[in-house]
A = this chain, B = another copy of it.
């Protein structure tokens, strides 16, 4: 991968510009390869990844040593760590992406207009996609595969703590592409920890960066908002809410809340705030709180919640705005579904919200009026996942307002064009 590493004779900006040009050229080859060619490419990437297991684990050992020195949390070290089983899982995930339907060229709609023109809306790749993500080595492979599946070239920027692992994985993916005679530069990884590289990506690489997909916390988000000169499909934090309505089934309220918070606390679909209807708070909150406590969850709440449950700590205003990604939940008593929706509008991040109720009218009101990418009735917010939606793999959950909301899979990494077939029509 030496060709994408910047050299002493080249500035970092020039390196990125060159990567953009290489990506643009590669994306044309990817388009011509067609669905079958892209499937073969992803399978070759999977095989090459498996073959490179030794190199990847050696590189990962370097990252882990660096992470230990840097004092990363146990959770971060765990996300960073690879072993043979995890590398095999990453390769399996690539094979699953190879099995996904290829979205490029599919007709979304086709109709004939009175002039006789036959008009088809057909999916096309976005072009060159820049993906900026955290220190999770698997994302390098997942993101690259989804880009190839959707006919896009990828320029990847991995979290610095995972750089060596990511380079090793990207090298393997590129070797796989080369094996099937596709340009390696369809997958390129930024090979420096220098954060200036992010700025260069956000600047648009002279027109050779079509879309940026940022995955990360508030710092990245703010930087992207301030600096991006290209379209962004934002993946911001998931400050998800579960609202227990007065019409809730008590057992569902307990089971869903505990699952939504505690199944995995580190994912963006984990519930961070429990809202409970004042009409049933006295009846239901003690049992829900006991179940959360049994599951190892700490609670912070408003005065009304604390008056009902002894072991709820006081919540500050900041708590309602905090994505804990941990075994902590904030709890607030609200005035019915209107109160819940007002809280979500004020503090939510438009990711995923759930209502628990047996009252269909209230549920439908919540689903219609809450303005989040995913709104759920009577199921855990942890279902906010492309795989659970039947979409196969995903890059993440989009929280912006244009192009796509919710899970971003291969289909969401495409756009469309109109193919118009005439028989000599001129416009009167």
Contacts and interface: CB of A to CB of B under 8 A. Distances in A.
Interface of A: 31-32, 105, 111, 113-115, 117, 119, 124, 126-127, 210-211, 225-226, 229, 231-233, 249, 251-252, 255-256, 258-260, 263, 363, 367-369, 371-380, 382-383, 388-390, 400-407, 415-427
A380 B425 contact: yes
A390 B109 CA distance: 13
Contacts of A105: 368
A113 B256 contact: no
A377 B423 CA distance: 8
Which of A111, A119, A371, A418 neighbours the largest number of chain B CB atoms within 10 Å of its CB?
A418
A352 to B, nearest CB: 9
Contacts of A225: 229
Contacts of A427: 259, 263, 380, 382-383, 388
Contact of A416 (B229, B255, B383, B405): B405
Contacts of A232: 231
A260 B402 CA distance: 32
B119 A389 contact: yes
Which of A226, A258, A377, A407 neighbours the largest number of chain B CB atoms within 10 Å of its CB?
A377
A418 B398 CA distance: 12
Given A231-B231, A377-B419, 4 more contacts: A113-B388, A117-B379, A233-B402, A378-B425
A111 B389 CA distance: 9
A111 B422 CA distance: 35
Given A388-B427, A417-B371, A422 B378 contact: yes
A260 B403 CA distance: 31
B231 A229 contact: no
Nearest to A383: B427
Nearest to A398: B415
B373 A417 contact: yes
B424 A263 contact: no
Given A117-B388, A403-B403, A425-B378, A383 B420 contact: yes
Contacts of A401: 126-127, 210-211, 231, 415
Nearest to A377: B421
A256 B383 contact: no
